[in-house]
């Protein structure tokens, strides 16, 4: 374990506009994922499991749901007084505006850096599904004597416009960085891909303090757009930590490969759920050596009264009635699936009642909904578009509470 004193800022204030309508009432880090998690749980678990225990979660956009989740899932144990996740809303400490961007959010909390005086600061996004031993990235940073290290990995060229794109040499030293370029540069030895930033950074504290100061003076607010390019131009040592090749999945026997998914849009979000299904899931939340922590929900296990359930995950206190046919689906907690319901490739969130005879295919049903008896969703995209949101990839999303409000009593 590194002897460095480290504090973490988790950037959890983004709007997640491409995840609409799942983000109409909550920020992206608070969107449910898998059978029982929220997206934010992955980065927080990675930090805690990596022994980084001083964590400030910077929230902004529609943050009530996120704050409530963090209170329930991440409250301090009295036994672990040195371990805490503190939610920091914008407080206008450094001026009269809310967080104007990721760098501005950290700048507005610069007092925390001064109070803790850590050796290193990790600034991580809260938008991804992954397992990462951050100590490996910190060691890489130290070995290279880097000023800043950016976690990165190859992504298909057609997706790269949505990322910060890096050019680096064999040692990882970065020579160019462009935030969301219109024409992403292919990797020399992998021309179908670009080398994309994961939005996770390790900074030497002094380098970060100076950079935030300079950016603030220049009216700049964002790490990707402003701070990183400015540091590069000023000759600082920026390195890329290639997560795909450097990260050793040292959490065997449960983990044999590295996993990272951007779930920024509905289709990516939906497809990432396929990775948690199957006999040998590409991403298995089960790993006692590297648990993904989440809410401490105390309800009973799911109850299956009959029907046929194939390749699916069932959340706590969920009831599946007789004569149902459920395949390749994720059903979260306190949900009731009535008789004669057919679910194929669906994500049914918490507190949903799917009434008898409904047939759903490639549908995401957000929390607190009642799907009326006999409803067909996902079988006729034009009909679905009249009532719901349909993604470019043809996934229908029923927004939270749209069809009725259900809470199991």
Among 8, 50, 55, 101, binds ligand ADQ (CB under 6 A): 101
How wide is the angle at C-alpha 97 spanned by C-alphas 203 and 73, nearest 5°? 60
The 173-192 site mask, x for binding ligand ADQ (CB under 6 A), equals ------x-------------
> What span, in angstroms and rounded, lies between the C-alpha atoms of 227 and 241?
18
Nearer Cβ to ligand ADQ, position 15 or 245?
15
| CA atoms within 13 Å, Cβ hemisphere of 188 | 4
Secondary structure class of 310 (helix, strand, coil): strand
| CA atoms within 13 Å, Cβ hemisphere of 191 | 0
Stretch that binds ligand ADQ, among 5-13, 209-217, 336-344, 398-406 (CB under 6 A): 5-13
CB of 84 to ligand ADQ, least distance (A): 19
> What span, in angstroms and rounded, lies between the C-alpha atoms of 336 and 317?
9
CB of 91 to ligand ADQ, least distance (A): 12
Stretch that binds ligand ADQ, among 120-128, 131-139, 327-335, 339-347 (CB under 6 A): 120-128
CB of 182 to ligand ADQ, least distance (A): 15
Regarding 199 and contact with ligand ADQ (CB under 6 A), the answer is yes
C-alpha closest to that of 70 among 370, 276, 295: 295
Regarding 229 and contact with ligand ADQ (CB under 6 A), the answer is no
Among 7, 44, 66, 126, binds ligand ADQ (CB under 6 A): 126
Regarding 284 and contact with ligand ADQ (CB under 6 A), the answer is no
CB of 79 to ligand ADQ, least distance (A): 30
Among 35, 109, 149, 197, binds ligand ADQ (CB under 6 A): 197
| CA atoms within 13 Å, Cβ hemisphere of 278 | 10
> What span, in angstroms and rounded, lies between the C-alpha atoms of 166 and 152?
8
Among 31, 58, 276, 358, binds ligand ADQ (CB under 6 A): 58
Nearer Cβ to ligand ADQ, position 57 or 341?
57
> What span, in angstroms and rounded, lies between the C-alpha atoms of 55 and 235?
29
> What span, in angstroms and rounded, lies between the C-alpha atoms of 97 and 133?
35
CB of 44 to ligand ADQ, least distance (A): 12
Among 204, 262, 342, 384, binds ligand ADQ (CB under 6 A): 262
Among residue numbers 296 through 325, which ones bind ligand ADQ (CB under 6 A)?
none
Among 33, 74, 130, 163, binds ligand ADQ (CB under 6 A): 163
Block residue for tokens 């959010």: 105
> What span, in angstroms and rounded, lies between the C-alpha atoms of 37 and 295?
8
Secondary structure class of 49 (helix, strand, coil): helix
> What span, in angstroms and rounded, lies between the C-alpha atoms of 131 and 285?
9
Among 37, 42, 56, 99, binds ligand ADQ (CB under 6 A): 99
Q: What region, left, alpha or beta, does residue 145 occupy, with left being phi > 0 and alpha being psi -120 to 50 degrees?
A: left
Among 23, 60, 149, 178, binds ligand ADQ (CB under 6 A): 60
> What span, in angstroms and rounded, lies between the C-alpha atoms of 30 and 128?
11
The residue ranges that bind ligand ADQ (CB under 6 A) are 11-14, 28-29, 58, 60, 99, 101-102, 105, 125-127, 163-164, 179, 196-199, 224, 262
């Amino acid at each position: 374990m590194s002897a460095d004193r480290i504090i973490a800022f988790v950037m959890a204030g983004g709007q997640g506009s491409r995840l609409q309508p799942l983000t109409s009432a909550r920020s992206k880090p608070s969107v449910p994922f898998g059978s029982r998690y929220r997206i934010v749980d992955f980065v927080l678990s990675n930090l805690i499991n990596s022994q980084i225990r001083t964590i400030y979660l910077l929230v902004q956009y529609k943050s009530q749901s996120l704050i409530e989740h963090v209170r329930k899932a991440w409250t301090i144990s009295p036994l672990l007084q040195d371990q805490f996740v503190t939610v920091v809303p914008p407080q206008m400490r450094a001026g009269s505006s809310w967080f104007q961007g990721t760098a501005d959010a950290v700048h507005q909390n610069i007092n925390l850096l001064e109070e803790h005086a850590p050796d290193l600061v990790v600034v991580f996004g809260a938008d991804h599904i992954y397992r990462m031993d951050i100590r490996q990235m910190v060691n890489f940073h130290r070995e290279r004597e880097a000023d800043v290290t950016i976690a990165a990995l190859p992504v298909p060229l057609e997706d790269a416009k949505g990322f910060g794109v890096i050019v680096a040499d064999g040692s990882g030293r970065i020579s160019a960085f462009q935030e969301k370029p219109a024409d992403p540069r292919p990797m020399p030895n992998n021309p179908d891909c670009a080398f994309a930033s994961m939005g996770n950074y390790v900074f030497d504290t002094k380098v970060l303090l100076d950079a935030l100061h300079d950016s603030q003076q220049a009216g700049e607010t964002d790490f990707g757009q402003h701070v990183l390019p400015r540091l590069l131009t000023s000759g600082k040592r920026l390195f890329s930590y290639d997560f795909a090749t450097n990260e050793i999945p040292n959490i065997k026997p449960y983990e044999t490969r590295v996993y990272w998914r951007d779930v920024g849009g509905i289709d990516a979000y939906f497809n990432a759920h396929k990775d948690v299904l199957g006999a040998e899931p590409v991403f298995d939340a089960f790993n006692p050596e590297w648990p993904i922590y989440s809410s401490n929900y105390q309800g009973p296990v799911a109850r299956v009264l009959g029907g046929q359930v194939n390749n699916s995950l069932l959340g706590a206190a969920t009831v599946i009635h007789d004569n149902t046919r459920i395949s390749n689906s994720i059903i979260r907690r306190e949900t009731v699936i009535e008789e004669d319901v057919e679910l194929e490739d669906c994500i049914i969130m918490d507190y949903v009642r799917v009434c008898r005879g409904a047939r759903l295919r490639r549908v995401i049903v957000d929390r607190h909904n009642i799907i009326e008896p006999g409803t067909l969703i996902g079988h006729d995209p034009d009909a679905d578009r009249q009532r719901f949101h349909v993604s470019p990839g043809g996934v229908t999303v029923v927004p939270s509470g749209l069809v009725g409000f259900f809470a199991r009593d």
